[in-house]
Structure 1
Amino acid sequence: MMMKRLTSGARPGFLALGIAGLAAIYAGGAAARPASATAAEGRYLYVANQEAAAVTVIDLETHEVVEVIDLEAMGFGANAKPHHIAVEPDGSFWYVSLIAANQVLKFDRENNLVASVEFERPGLLALHPAEPWLFVGRSMAAVNPPQRIGRIDRTSMEVEEYDVFIPRPHALLASQDGDWIYVGSLGENSVVTVEAESGEAELLRLPGSGDMPHVLVQYAISPDGRTLVATAEMTAKLLVFDVSEPTAPVLVGQLDVGARPWHPSWSADGRWIWFGNLGTNEVTLVDTSDWSVAAVVRGEGLAEPHGSALSPDGSRLYVANRNETGTYESSDRMGYGAPGGTVVVIDTATREIIDVIETPPYASGIGLASGLR
């Protein structure tokens, strides 16, 4: 496996532009892979490494790490905490939230930083499928963030904030048509539907709203847009909502799963939902035909799984792993002085782990260009 890290000190080919906070990253990678190939293909997985102030770029064909983007070297600090990634469907641009730097960054296909915007404690990101909008929630690390989400114009990078009236808004997803944004609370059992155009919000208090909070981590939505699921960290459940009427989601089911379910991914045929269980070092597969747990995947590299993403053709599931406690023994600590993170690749047909890709510490949110084949 080949990897390149832009380290502190001398950085061959690294150029930092202090003006307007922009920077160009050395377009590195395998020696036989010219920058023009990167621009033409764009089949890459982007991994936020929260405790390394870095973003790892992985070739989806070879599973090689072709670049590690050093955000500290770009002036964002060692504690920038990159958290989540969103990628344009055609791979032309990608975005990363920096929790502690209070920034959302925009990079182009060649991994040049082209814009940034300030946003307090940004967390999850969600692209609108038609309008040039990027929605941003608040980080789980924020104790008392504003009860608002952001709508960023992806062209101008100007931000507008929408009130959602719930404490610690975290789970965040756009509907299939982009008309609605679903937001979930970490602090109470509430779901909010926000009209993407106007910002008008409708609040749903879940049954048992006075009980221990579910702590809604993240959503996934069915291909037909009629069913929404949410992973609930504290109650170890997958919550199922009927959202055929977007302004009035109806909780129609709850499935007990492994401890601390994290970011879910829904297959394009609507049959399967995948997510990691951060508390049990495993991946759960749910069959939506009868809402049962169809399989649990365990094995090398699964160590506090966080983000997940399906390849455009659905044949591979990529799972990012924090590995904070060193459950997985990295072959190389990469000079960070902490256990490295991983990306585990699962064959969705056989449900077996087929590759483990090592990254800098704490691999969290991941993203890829969903429109490329």
Structure 2
Amino acid sequence: MGHGAERLRMRSRRLRAALLLVLTGAAACGAGPVPATPAGAQELLYVASQEDVTVAVIDMSTRQLVETVDLKELGFSPTAKAHHVAVEPDGSFWYVSLIADGKVLKFDRENRLVGQADFETPGMLGLDPTSDRLYVGRSMAAVNPPQRIGVIDRRSMSIEEIDVFFPRPHALAVDARGSRFFAASLGQNSMAWAPIGDEDVDLLQLEGAMNHVLVQFAISPDGRWMVGGGQMTGSLLVFDLSADGPTVVRSIDVGGQPWHPSWSVDGRTVWVPNQAANTVTATIPPPAPSAVRAPSWRSTRRATRSWASSKSGATRQGWRRPQRRPRVERPERSGAEGQRTACRHASSRRVCRLRGGVFG
């Protein structure tokens, strides 16, 4: 079944902007630090393709395709929509949500199907590395799903549901350090959180005359901060998680429909793909300026996938990497709050902007 040293050669038409990437040895959805991958184990990347209903398994050390798991060959429908992947900290099992088939599947390290759970229009997955729980949100494609999220026991794949009391729960994150989970609504400015294992959630009403449409959260490696992209407002909301409940401390205007943010391993930078603008924004904690609009990659699709391809260094399905990586010339950083400074893209002279500090 393996393809060995075969290079990635898949066409762009096969991919959707919902491709989400998860590394073996790291829990999905910004769960924070987890136990290290065992010595000698492969560092693998799992890429779900909604249109193809496949999951590509990529060796991160060689940047080569190891195997393509075709879920259609396992009896799932051609329109199942494989959406999000979560991986056990030690890489022993991985999970994928199938939106249209209403399933969350469990695979072992050898990519054999070993379990499944039924859940209406599953979307984002949040794995808690400190317990056997896997949290499941609802897909953006679901217009009026139940106002509940799922909690799967990863050993038995049995599932329970938790009421969140708002429509279209989509954004989802698990804070392993704080032993909490977070969910947010696409339909209104509401989010919920509770201790892991608790079925009684607390609710937070987010300010704003317009619905943010929070697509996804990401928690910093130290567990102190959480960010969420507001598709409709173009804002990246910054939450302080140091107290019992989340508190919004900053709203950063990044524009272009921010979707799924990602933290760097050292927690110094948040990368935000701007779906509508085909750009990537980097937010930098103070005293450095906080937002750098990165030049867009040459992509036939959206920035979410452009960033994914550049992050791993592999040319993924349908992405075109430039012949030479563009160089961005940045001015000296004064660190002044709210300062806006032009920077020049060395080849295209594209103007980007630097803004003041991220966190309060």
- Ranges in structure 2 where 5+ consecutive residues have no aligned partner: 10-38, 330-360
Cα RMSD (Å) of the superposition?
3.1
Alpha-carbon contact 1:320-1:342 (below 8 Å) kept? no
Instruction: Compute the displacement of 1:276 (Å).
Output: 1.3
Aligned to 2:213: 215
Kindly provide the amino acid, as one letter, of the partner of residue 245 in structure 1.
Answer: A
Aligned to 2:170: 170
Equivalences for residues 289-368 of structure 1 within 5 A: 289-290=286-287, 292-301=290-299, 303-306=301-304, 317-318=311-312, 341-342=318-319
- Ranges in structure 1 where 5+ consecutive residues have no aligned partner: 6-38, 322-329, 331-339, 353-373
Kindly provide the amino acid, as one letter, of the partner of residue 95 in structure 1.
Answer: Y
Q: Structure 1 residues 49 and 106, CA, compared in 2 at 3 Å: closer, same or farther?
A: same
For 2:75, what is the secondary structure of its paired residue?
A: helix
Aligned to 1:125: 125
Does 1:231 pair with 2:229?
A: yes
Alpha-carbon contact 1:175-1:181 (below 8 Å) kept? yes
Kindly provide the amino acid, as one letter, of the partner of residue 77 in structure 2.
Answer: G
Kindly provide the amino acid, as one letter, of the partner of residue 252 in structure 1.
Answer: V
**Distance (Å, rounded) in 1 between the aligned partners of 2:7 and 2:306:** 21
Aligned to 1:31: none
Kindly provide the amino acid, as one letter, of the partner of residue 242 in structure 2.
Answer: S
**Distance (Å, rounded) in 2 between the aligned partners of 1:140 and 1:217:** 8
Instruction: Compute the displacement of 1:351 (Å).
Output: 8.2
**Distance (Å, rounded) in 2 between the aligned partners of 1:319 and 1:228:** 26
Alpha-carbon contact 2:7-2:64 (below 8 Å) kept? yes
Deviates more, 1:302-311 or 1:140-149: 302-311
Instruction: Compute the displacement of 1:274 (Å).
Output: 0.9
Does 1:255 pair with 2:255?
A: no
Instruction: Compute the displacement of 1:183 (Å).
Output: 0.5
- 1:236-270 alpha-carbon deviations (Å, 9 max, x no partner): 110011121243x2211111113111111112322
Q: Structure 1 residues 344 and 277, CA, compared in 2 at 3 Å: closer, same or farther?
A: farther
Aligned to 1:370: none
Kindly provide the amino acid, as one letter, of the partner of residue 260 in structure 1.
Answer: Q
Alpha-carbon contact 1:320-1:344 (below 8 Å) kept? no
TM-score by length of 2: 0.74
Instruction: Compute the displacement of 1:295 (Å).
Output: 4.4
Q: Structure 1 residues 164 and 244, CA, compared in 2 at 3 Å: closer, same or farther?
A: same
Instruction: Compute the displacement of 1:226 (Å).
Output: 2.0
Aligned to 1:103: 103
Alpha-carbon contact 1:308-1:318 (below 8 Å) kept? no
Alpha-carbon contact 1:188-1:213 (below 8 Å) kept? yes
Instruction: Compute the displacement of 1:152 (Å).
Output: 0.5
Equivalences for residues 1-373 of structure 1 within 5 A: 2=6, 41-177=41-177, 179-208=179-208, 211-247=209-245, 249-290=246-287, 292-301=290-299, 303-306=301-304, 317-318=311-312, 341-342=318-319
Q: Structure 1 residues 273 and 231, CA, compared in 2 at 3 Å: closer, same or farther?
A: same
**Distance (Å, rounded) in 2 between the aligned partners of 1:84 and 1:111:** 16
**Distance (Å, rounded) in 2 between the aligned partners of 1:320 and 1:98:** 25
Aligned residues: 293
**Distance (Å, rounded) in 2 between the aligned partners of 1:54 and 1:77:** 11
Alpha-carbon contact 1:307-1:320 (below 8 Å) kept? no
TM-score by length of 1: 0.72
**Distance (Å, rounded) in 2 between the aligned partners of 1:162 and 1:143:** 19
Aligned to 1:357: none
Alpha-carbon contact 1:279-1:304 (below 8 Å) kept? yes
- Share of identical aligned residues, percent? 50
Q: Structure 1 residues 318 and 132, CA, compared in 2 at 3 Å: closer, same or farther?
A: same
**Distance (Å, rounded) in 2 between the aligned partners of 1:274 and 1:343:** 20
Instruction: Compute the displacement of 1:271 (Å).
Output: 1.0
**Distance (Å, rounded) in 1 between the aligned partners of 2:67 and 2:88:** 19
Q: Structure 1 residues 63 and 266, CA, compared in 2 at 3 Å: closer, same or farther?
A: same
Deviates more, 1:288-297 or 1:81-90: 288-297
Kindly provide the amino acid, as one letter, of the partner of residue 304 in structure 2.
Answer: H
Q: Structure 1 residues 107 and 178, CA, compared in 2 at 3 Å: closer, same or farther?
A: farther
Q: Structure 1 residues 230 and 274, CA, compared in 2 at 3 Å: closer, same or farther?
A: same
**Distance (Å, rounded) in 1 between the aligned partners of 2:113 and 2:76:** 12
- 1:327-360 alpha-carbon deviations (Å, 9 max, x no partner): xxx9xxxxxxxxx544979xx9x889xxxxxxxx
For 2:260, what is the secondary structure of its paired residue?
A: strand
Kindly provide the amino acid, as one letter, of the partner of residue 236 in structure 1.
Answer: G
Q: Structure 1 residues 95 and 297, CA, compared in 2 at 3 Å: closer, same or farther?
A: farther
- 1:111-141 alpha-carbon deviations (Å, 9 max, x no partner): 1111111111000001112101111100000
Kindly provide the amino acid, as one letter, of the partner of residue 59 in structure 1.
Answer: D
Alpha-carbon contact 2:298-2:320 (below 8 Å) kept? no
Alpha-carbon contact 2:63-2:314 (below 8 Å) kept? no
Q: Structure 1 residues 319 and 4, CA, compared in 2 at 3 Å: closer, same or farther?
A: closer
Alpha-carbon contact 2:63-2:313 (below 8 Å) kept? no
Alpha-carbon contact 2:280-2:307 (below 8 Å) kept? no
